[in-house]
Amino acid sequence: MLQHPLAHRVHWSHAFLHVSHLLLPGSDRDRSLASYPVWRGEAFDADSFSTGKAACRCPRGEKSTAAASKPAPATPAAPEKVKIYWTDELMHKEVKYYNPEYAGDGQFQIENGEPVAVVLANTKVTNLKALEGKKLMALDLSGTAVSDLSPLKGMPLVELYLERTKVVDLYPLKGMPIKKLYLSGTPVRDIAPLQGMPLTDLNAIDTQIVDISPLAKSPIAMLWLTNCPVESIAPLHSIPLVSVTLKGTKVRDLTPLSGTQLQRLHIAETPVEDLSPLKDIPLTRLVFTPANIKQGLDVAKALPLAQIGTRFEEDGNDLLPPAQFWAGQGK
């Protein structure tokens, strides 16, 4: 029987296909042999075949289309930051750039070209962008319309005065080393960002603060909570208070003050009825509402007071020596 002239080639190719995966180290069984030059009628290179890679055979005088990859251009170095030596004039211009109505009535304390203290109290400043990145240690924004403290984030502030501003959010202050913070007359309610802050003085007169628990670990000596809707002062038991003003609050129970070294206490116009928790406290000044007291007057009389009265305000007071005060009370 005559054999087809191509029969031997077909037979050989079938055999090759069958064992191709054995001849190609690391090759995939499903890889198409048509990808290799021997099956495309091209010149065959044994080395490239044994490694499973097709060699490129280009006619003489022609360059390979697979041009060598060019190295990526070097990334230009970032320009060095130019240090600015701030002056009063430059600071005024910077503040005005972000606050067109600013009249140049701020004050700046500058050391070695860096502002360290800024007073913008009662100026027409609303935007603090001009202060961003500065290493201020003291800042007074009292009486301004400032509401956003974000530009202050990360500053090494030790003293910050925000009285009568529109600030509500204190979170940009979180983690700052602030010791003196004045918030009186602001709509602040949440003081959670103050937790762990090394506060020694906190003025929160006429704010909306209800929960003072974030203050429990702060070394506060001077605390003003006048007219705040605070009811519980339990966190104050662990604070080294020297003076506390609770006038106009909803506080009834003074027990958390027992055993403290408190020296000055203002509880006038509160629902406090019992002064017994004040026993043995080294108070030198007491301001209270006698008509509200139902228990503990004997404790109050035994306190080492230098002054006692029913009113102690910025515009005046009625403080008297204890003997004179009690005589006037007829008690």
Closest CA to 104 of 115, 96, 112: 96
Higher pLDDT, 228 or 313: 228
Last residue of a domain, one of 49, 69, 91: 49
Q: Residue 33 sits in which domain range? A: 20-49
What stretches of 172-284 adopt beta strand conformation (E)?
180-182, 201-203, 222-224, 243-245, 264-266
The answer to whether residue 266 is domain-embedded is: yes
pLDDT score at 76: 72
The amino acid at 110: I
The answer to whether residue 180 is domain-embedded is: no
Give the pLDDT band of residue 316 (cuts 50, 70, 90).
Answer: confident
What are residue 224's DSSP bridge partners? 203, 245
Using the predicted structure, report yes or no on whether residue 81 has a pLDDT greater than 80. no
pLDDT score at 54: 41
pLDDT average, residue stretch 33-38: 36
- Tens of pLDDT along 113-151? 999 999 999 999 999 999 999 999 999 999 999 999 999
Q: What is the pTM of this model?
A: 0.75
| CATH classification of the domain holding 276 | 3.80.10.10
Last residue of a domain, one of 49, 70, 92: 49
Using the predicted structure, report yes or no on whether residue 61 has a pLDDT greater than 50. no
Residue whose tokens read 């009811």: 231
The answer to whether residue 37 is domain-embedded is: yes
The answer to whether residue 316 is domain-embedded is: yes
The answer to whether residue 164 is domain-embedded is: no
The answer to whether residue 89 is domain-embedded is: no
Q: Token pair for residue 211?
A: 């929960």
Number of structural domains (the chain) is: 2
Closest CA to 141 of 97, 194, 182: 182
Phi/psi at 14 (5° precision): -65, -40
The answer to whether residue 271 is domain-embedded is: yes
The answer to whether residue 253 is domain-embedded is: yes
